Amino acid sequence: MATIVRLPKLGLSDRGEIVEWRVAPPDRVQSGDVIAILESDKSAVDIEATTGGVLLTTYVDEGEEIAIEPGRPIAAIGSEGETAPSLDETEDESSEQASEDDGESMQSQPEQVPSVDGDLRVTPKARVVAAEQGIEKLENIKPTGPEESITVSDVERFSAETEPTSIEGAGDSSPASAVKSTPKAKRFASDHSIGLENVTGTGPKGAVTEEDVQRHLEGGTAQTPPPAESGISTTSGDPAGDNAEYTVAEVRELSRVERTVANRLSRSAREKPHVRGNRTVNIEPVERVVGELASKNESSLSVNDLLFRAVVLTLEAHPEFNAVYEDDEYRLIEEKNVGYAVDSEHGLLVPVVKDAGSKSLNALAESRRAVVDRVLDGRHSPSDLQGGTFTVTNVGALGMDSAFSIINPPEVAILVIGRRKPSLFETDDGVETAMGVQLSLLIDHRVLDGGDAGAFLQTLAGYLEQPSTILHTE
């Protein structure tokens, strides 16, 4: 009997897509083999085979956007020559059996929602997906969920089987309103500012599909060309401005993770009044301590390890920075979950060292390296990127002196570390030259001010200029 591979409980967003199938029917797999990569707004995760055998079929196409529901069937594994069960047959199984992977029921009891007949049951996620796809009459959808409830799979099946609808409402007289298109094509075209009236449809009855829009985006103009009398001339792509002419060399579409990062940081830049304070510190004392420890074979600590520990100690002295601001509420957090931004193959990600304040220097160094390595190797889990209360980013590793970084929402501050370079410092004997790094602290001015920033940098500089305090503060 075939074993159904179902989505485990992942803690991801509501929507995502299988960006890669590592195997294809009828490949043989072993239990624990990675068979697919699932990407959501938050992260990319590996989906493993739950048993060994032959991959009989997959129920989700590569690149297809789906609802990330624990228990959702994505593939079937069985014996060679065995017939794979249909998708309908997999959904006839109980929700308890469908969620054996994580020991929890597949979904909560369906939500009772008003309808024409007064007793229609729809799961909360199905209701959201239906609204996104413009489906108003849910009573037309065949329910297959528990207690004859409508699930996300039911909504998506109904959407795929229903004749494509126009992009706009029936009363719209614009050219786009007469264009037949699938819901996915409509969303994709809207995301890329493409007029569907310019896209050649290859779907049922000439409907525009998502693939048609993608093909148009890659090979043609993304917007309706302006009339000749406008004086605007373009060779390809969108007009960049009056009288702009250019040829698009390549169109690079952001991954789901990159789009999420872009949206979050754009919102942060719009909503948070960023204020930056700078201070250059002499980094040579820290370097000397690290060198002495290494010469005695006492540790493998790095300059970054001591600097990271100094930040944690500074947060203990200034708890107003270890906080979040959302829903008009400024909350100081007890645990110090410090993020360390890294440039990964999935773009800028911020792995979080959880409860950093409770760790010794060596334990903190090990935790930071471990979570950073997981992210760089693509082995991280969604929890590795969640729950941050303060962020550190080292742009010096990229050769930059400083950067005006954007605060990672809903946090209220971010510390930027610049590159090591010769700097001037005042001493009791005058001015001396030493290797320094610039520390830039960006704050959310709604809850913090310049005085707070100055005090934070003063404390941090004190730890770095007298690193023995870092070693002996446990």
- Tens of pLDDT, residues 172-203: 444 444 577 776 677 778 777 788 888 888 76
Assigned token pair, 155: 């909504």
Domain ranges of the chain: 3-98, 111-161, 165-230, 257-471
**Nearest CA to 412 among 470, 384, 454, 452?**
452
Pick the more confident residue, 73 or 108.
Answer: 73
How buried is residue 141: exposed, middle or buried, by Cβ count under 10 Å (0-12/13-18/19+)?
buried
Write out the H or E segment, with its range, that includes residue 82.
Answer: none
Q: Report the alpha-carbon distance of residue 345 to residue 351 in Å, rounded.
A: 14
Q: What is the 3-state secondary structure (H, E, C) of 143-168?
A: CCCHHHCECHHHHHHHHHHCCCEECC
Mean pLDDT of the chain: 80
Pick the more confident residue, 133 or 142.
Answer: 142
Q: Report the alpha-carbon distance of residue 216 to residue 461 in Å, rounded.
A: 55
Q: Report the alpha-carbon distance of residue 82 to residue 98 in Å, rounded.
A: 21
Q: Report the alpha-carbon distance of residue 371 to residue 388 in Å, rounded.
A: 13
- Write down the pLDDT at residue 244: 57
Q: Report the alpha-carbon distance of residue 70 to residue 87 in Å, rounded.
A: 16
Q: Report the alpha-carbon distance of residue 164 to residue 176 in Å, rounded.
A: 14
- Write down the pLDDT at residue 188: 78
Q: Identify whether the C-beta of residue 393 lies closer than 8 Å to the C-beta of residue 416.
A: yes
Residue type, 249: A
CATH number for the domain formed by residue range(s) 3-98 = 2.40.50.100
Q: Which residues of 409-444 are buried (b: 16+ CB within 10 A; e: fewer)?
A: bbbbbbbbbbbbeebeeeeeeeeeeeebbbbbbbbb
Confidence band (pLDDT; 50, 70, 90) for 467?
Answer: very high
- Write down the pLDDT at residue 440: 96
Identify the CATH assignment for 111-161 out of 4.10.320.10, 1.10.10.10, 3.40.50.300, 2.30.36.70. Answer: 4.10.320.10
- Write down the pLDDT at residue 119: 61
The fraction of the chain above a pLDDT of 70, given in percent, is 78
Sign of the torsion angle spanned by Cα atoms 257, 161, 143, 168: positive
- Write down the pLDDT at residue 377: 86
State pLDDT tens for residues 106-117.
333 333 333 334
In the block, tokens 């002196």 appear at 401
Pick the more confident residue, 46 or 238.
Answer: 46
**Nearest CA to 100 among 201, 5, 219?**
5
The fraction of the chain above a pLDDT of 90, given in percent, is 37
Confidence band (pLDDT; 50, 70, 90) for 105?
Answer: very low
- Write down the pLDDT at residue 161: 66
CATH match of 257-471 with 3.30.70.141 = no
Pick the more confident residue, 71 or 114.
Answer: 71
Q: How far apart are the first and last CA of the chain?
A: 57
Q: Report the alpha-carbon distance of residue 239 to residue 222 in Å, rounded.
A: 9
- Write down the pLDDT at residue 178: 55
- Write down the pLDDT at residue 221: 41
Q: Where are the alpha helices (DSSP H) in 101-208?
A: 124-132, 152-161, 183-191
Assigned token pair, 154: 């039911």
